[in-house]
Structure 1
C-alpha cells in the first residue's frame, strides 16, 4: 500500500461512521467497518433505527485529528495498518486497525481500542519507517502466539476461579471479569450461566504489530453469551442496555439471554503475562422468555 492511502482511509471511515449514526443507517456503517468492530457496532445502529427511524440530525459527530499511522511492509493480501488519532470524545486516543482484503476492496476498520496517550506503545520500524507485522502462529519470540489469544482468553474465563494458567496479567478484563461473574452466578433472585467461545478467522482474524521492545501489540476478538434465569417469584426487570432493549425478541419474564462480542488490544511480551490495554464489548442479540 501507499502511505498516502492511510489518511484517506481514516477520513472515509470518519465520514461513514458519522453518516451511519446521523441517519440511523446500518448499510453506511457496513461500508466502512468489518470484522469485530462491525459486529459490535452494527446492532447499535440497528437499535437506533428502531428508536430513531428518521435519523438523529443532532448526532455529535466524531472528529479524529492529529493522526499517526503505523504501516507494515506487506506482500500479498490481506493488508492492514494502524491509525492512532486524537478523538473529540475525550482525552484518549482512538487506535483503529484497518484491513483490506484485495486490490479492488476498500479499506475498512476492523478493530478499535481506546487508550490514553501514555498507553500507546512504541512500534518497531525500519529505516524507511515501515512497521513489522507479526504472524499469528508460534515461533515469533512471544509469550503467546497472536493466533492463540482468543482461545486462551475464553478458556481463562471458563475456568473462572479454577484457572491455573497465569497466561494473562490481573486486571479488569481478566480477574475483574471472573470476580464480577462469580457475584452473579447465583443470587437470591436469579442465577446466570456463561458461555465463551473463540472468535475465528477469517472474519475475526487477530492482527499484531512488533513493538520496539521485541513484544507485540495484538488485536483479537471473542464471543460471550449469558443466560439469566429468575428464581421462583421473581421476573426479569428492566433491560438496562439500550441496544439489548431495542433488539430483544420474545417476552423476557422468566429468563433473558444475551450474546456479546468483545474486541481487545493486548501487549504480548517476549516472556511473561499478556497485558490487556483495552477491551470493548457490545451486545449482538437478545432473547427472552
Structure 2
C-alpha cells in the first residue's frame, strides 16, 4: 500500500472517530419529566387544600379548580347527595307542604390529607401532562391511586382519578435510572388488552356476565361478575313489583392513563359509566313503589319511587394488564357512584 493511500485512510478514520465521539457526546437529551417530585408533592398538597375548601363551602367553582373529568363528576354527585340529605327547611306557618320522608342529615366530611405519597412521574412531550400518586388518605385503611393532569399550558393541575386500592394490591410501575415512570399510549400493543379497549371490555362484562366475549380479558371480580349478578337480581325484583328495569353499561368516554409495569405489563386507570332507567308499567296498581339503591336514593333525596327514576353512574378503576399470554387483566381498585338523575 502506498504512503499516499495509508495517509488518506488514516485521515478518514480520524474523521469517523471524531464524528462518532461528537455524535455520542451530543446525543439528544431524554424527554423531560412532566414535573419534578417536589413540584408533584406541591400539587398533591394544593389539591387537598382546594378540595377541602370546596367541600366546606359546597362550591362547584372551587371543585372545578381541584378536579376534572370523572373525578369531578363523582365529587359533584356526592355534593348533590349531601345537600339532599340535609334536613328540609321548616315551612312557614299556614303554608301547605308535602310530607318529606325523614332522612339522616349529612355528616360533614373530615378534611382530606395524604401521607406516605409515592410519585410516579412519566417523561412526556407536550400536553396533556400527567403523573400518578399512591398515598394513604387519613382515616382510610386503603391507599388512593390518583392521577393528576395538566391539559394545556394555561390550565393548572387537577385530579382526574382517585381509586381506592388495598394496601397489598400489586402496583409496581417500571422506573428508569432516574426514578421516572414510562407512560404508555392508549393504543399500546403487546398487552392482553389495550388501555383504550379495557373500559369497553369491562362494560361488556358488567352487561353480559359469563356470556361476554370482550370481558374474557378480565379476571372475574366483585367489580365484574358481581355487578352483573346484582343487576340481574335488581331486574327480577323490579319485574316482580311491576316495573320495567333497563341498565346499560358503557365506556365513560373520558381519557385513560397507563404506566408500564415492572413486569412488562401495564397499570391502567379507566372509567365505566352506566345508565339506569326504571319505569312503572301501566298495569301496575296505583300506590306500588320501588326502592332505589341507597346511593341513588341519597342523590334523588327519595327512598321510594312511585312512577319512574333515572340515574347515571360512573365508576373509576385501576387494573393491572399483563402482556399477551400472561393471564387476564385484573381490576385491583374501584371508586364510583351516581353523578346525576331524577325520580318521582
Q: For residues 27 and 227 of structure 1, do their structure 2 counterparts lie closer, same or farther at Cα, with a shift above 3 Å needed?
A: same
- Whether the aligned pair in 1 keeps the contact of 2:195 and 2:256 (CA below 8 Å) is yes
Q: CA distance change for structure 1 residues 236 and 142 in 2, over 3 Å: closer, same or farther?
A: same
Match of 1:38 in 2: 72
In structure 2, the residue matched to 1:67 is 117
| Structure 2 residue 164 is matched with structure 1 residue 109 | no
Write out per-residue CA displacement over residues 218-261 of structure 1, whole angstroms, 9 at most, x where no aligned residue: 00112201122346232134763254224x8xx94222211111
Within 5 A, what are the aligned runs for 1:256-271?
256-271=309-324
1:224-235 paired onto structure 2 within 5 Å: 224-230=274-280, 232-233=284-285, 234-235=288-289
How do residues 148-163 of structure 1 correspond to structure 2 at under 5 angstroms? 148-163=197-212
Q: How big is the shift at 1:127?
A: 0.6
SS at match of 1:220: strand
* Structure possessing the higher radius of gyration over alpha carbons: 2
Query: Within 2, Cα distance between the matches of 1:208 and 1:43?
Result: 26
Does residue 1:99 correspond to 2:149, yes or no? yes
Partner Cα distance (1:185, 1:161) in 2: 17
What does 1:182-193 correspond to in 2, within 5 Å?
Answer: 182-187=232-237, 188-189=240-241, 190-193=243-246
2:13 matched residue in structure 1: none
Contact 2:135-2:144 within 8 A present in 1 as well: yes
- Consecutive aligned runs of 4 or more in structure 1 exceeding 6 Å deviation: none
- Residue of structure 2 in register with 1:282 after alignment: 337
In structure 1, the gaps of 5 or more residues are none
- Structure 2 unaligned runs (5+)? 1-34, 88-105
| Aligned partner of 2:290 among 213, 230, 236 | 236
Task: Give the secondary-structure state (helix, strand or coil) at the position aligned to 1:221.
Answer: strand
- The DSSP-based 3-state class of the residue aligned with 2:339 is strand
Q: Residue in 1 aligned with 2:31?
A: none
- 1:7-46 matches, cutoff 5 A: 7-46=41-80
Q: 1:288 to 1:52 in 2, by over 3 A?
A: closer
From the superposition, tell whether residues 95 and 185 of structure 1 become closer, same or farther in structure 2 (CA, over 3 Å). Answer: same
> What is the alpha-carbon distance in structure 2 between the residues aligned to residue 186 and residue 59 of structure 1?
36
**Cα deviation per residue 1:72-101 (whole Å; 9 max; x = unaligned)?**
111111011111111112221111100011
Structure 1 residue 50 displacement after superposition: 5.4
The answer on whether the counterparts of 2:148 and 2:159 sit within 8 Å (CA) in structure 1 is yes
Aligned pairs, how many? 280
1:87/1:93 contact within 8 Å kept: yes
| Structure 1 equivalent of residue 227 of structure 2 | 177
Distance 2:299 2:266 in 1: 35
Which one is further off, 209-218 or 224-233? Answer: 224-233
**TM-score (normalizing by structure 2):** 0.76
Residue 69 of structure 1 and its aligned partner are, at CA, apart by 0.5
> Counterparts of 1:106 and 1:245 in 2: how far apart (Å)?
33
- 2:85, 2:298 within 8 Å by CA — same for their partners in 1? no
Say yes or no: does 1:143 pair with 2:192.
yes
